[in-house]
Amino acid sequence: MRGFFITNLKKYMKKKVLGIGEIVLDKVHQLASFPSEGEKIVSRTIQMSLGGPVPSALILLSRLGVECTLVACVANDEAGKIVTSILEGEGVRLVQEVSDHTSVNTVLVNGMNGSRTVIKDIDSGTLEKKIQNKIIDSADLILCDRHEPDIVLDAIGRKKRGVQVIMDPSVDCSVRTMELLRNVSVPIVPIETMKTLFPNNTIQDGAKKLSLALDKTVIITMGEYGCAVCNRESFAIHSPPRVNVIDTLGAGDIFRGGFAFGVLNGWDLDRTVQFANMVAAMQCTKLGNSTAIPTKQEINTFQKTTNQLANSISLV
């Protein structure tokens, strides 16, 4: 069995990731079971956690030694102060455009199966200023979501040659989101989105059609079933390690963070997907979003105790 070792993370500190996207504060309620309509139910626990696809992925990357900058709208309200403090504590640099309101989502976690229902707040606002050239020029990789299409497309147009772009489209299938997907390096799309686009197709047929439509390899995230990797020539499903699921919140965000880490380190696609699957599964073993993101030490321990990976990835 061939091992793969990272013996010195200091060299990866030179890698820089630019994140562009929505930032929210999640108020997470863990429930014994999902309530019926009209039922009153008491939360087992209530937890405040930083949310948003891009911030969560950046926190994972920062914990693994990558230098991260987030460009986002955040208000100077109480929720904004909390998310700013969390990012600062995680070593993620925030380039803030001040808005009138910081979004606070209510998240209901079903203690029976770990599924979550999200009651979204109104948006924090959208970025109005283009990102400075020096920030874009310094990026080795760009992570984005669907919330700032104009700003993202402008950044893609000004990025250095060879810099890859990874996007979280959520379940949006709008024309604007599809335009963004055509401009990213490796589209990573939830299975719900693919089913909406191609409702009468199998997973394989839908993935093939999406790959052809975008003219590139696509990755379909499939929750407990891991992910599928598809291009013109092949289709393969990559299963995740088995874990005790507590809360699935943020698993897709952390998958993208893990995928970005593999890209930054020049891993091949199979190993990159394998690592992304693993850290996404680990995310599901704790309650919350940012509060559940695995650390470098936890990743090492997980590999030693589960023997899930064919190739050991040691983060010394």
Bridge partners, residue 141, by sequence? 17, 164
- Please, what is the average pLDDT of the chain? 89
Average pLDDT over residues 76-104: 94
What are the E-state strand segments in the chain?
4-6, 16-20, 24-31, 45-51, 67-75, 92-99, 103-110, 116-119, 141-145, 164-168, 188-190, 218-221, 227-230, 235-238, 313-315
Q: Write the pLDDT tens digit of every residue in 86-97.
A: 999 999 999 999
Q: Classify 31 as helix, strand or coil.
A: strand
Q: Is 60 exposed, middle or buried (0-12, 13-18, 19+ CB in 10 A)?
A: buried
CB atoms < 10 A from the CB of 246, how many? 18
Which residue range is the domain that position 191 belongs to? 11-36+44-308
Taken as a whole, the chain contains a residue count of 316
Residue 4 lies in a domain: no
The predicted pLDDT at position 232 comes to 87
Residue 1 lies in a domain: no
Cα 115 from Cα 140, distance rounded (Å)? 34
Residue 269 lies in a domain: yes
Residue type, 36: S
pLDDT score of 241 more than 80: yes
Residue 288 lies in a domain: yes
Cα 50 from Cα 92, distance rounded (Å)? 12
The predicted pLDDT at position 103 comes to 93
pLDDT band at 308 (very low <50, low <70, confident <90, very high): low
Residue 316 lies in a domain: no
Average pLDDT over residues 104-114: 89
Q: How many domains does the chain have?
A: 1
Residues of the chain with pLDDT > 70, as a percent, come to 93
The predicted pLDDT at position 295 comes to 95
Cα 65 from Cα 232, distance rounded (Å)? 35
pLDDT band at 186 (very low <50, low <70, confident <90, very high): confident
The predicted pLDDT at position 287 comes to 81
Average pLDDT over residues 186-209: 92
Residue 53 lies in a domain: yes
Q: Write the pLDDT tens digit of every residue in 255-288.
A: 999 999 999 999 999 999 999 999 999 999 998 7
pLDDT score of 77 more than 60: yes
Residue type, 262: G
Residue 189 lies in a domain: yes
Q: Is residue 10 a contact partner of residue 65, using CB atoms and an 8 Å limit?
A: yes
Q: What's the DSSP call for residue 223?
A: G
Task: Note if the pTM is more than 0.85.
Answer: yes
**11 against 195, higher pLDDT:** 195
Residue 251 lies in a domain: yes
CATH code for position 122: 3.40.1190.20
Residue type, 108: L
For every residue of 68-87, DSSP letters joined together read EEEEEEEESSHHHHHHHHHH
